Amino acid sequence: MLRGIMHEMNILVTVAVIAGLYISLFLVAEKVFMEDED
C-alpha cells in the first residue's frame, strides 16, 4: 500500500517539475521576444 502511494507521489512530483520547466521556458522566451521587439 505504501509503495503505491510513493509511486503516485513520484508521478505528481515529475508532473510538477515538468510543468515548472515549461512555465520557466515560456517566461524566458516571452522576455527574450519582448526585448527583441524593443
- Domain of residue 2, residue span: 1-38
For the chain, the average pLDDT equals: 90
Over residues 16-24, mean pLDDT: 98
Total domains in the fold of the chain: 1
Q: What's the pTM value of the predicted model, to 2 decimals?
A: 0.62
**What is the distance between the alpha carbons of residues 11 and 5, in angstroms, rounded to a whole number?**
10
Q: Residue 31 carries which side chain, given as an amino acid letter?
A: K
pLDDT for 7: 87
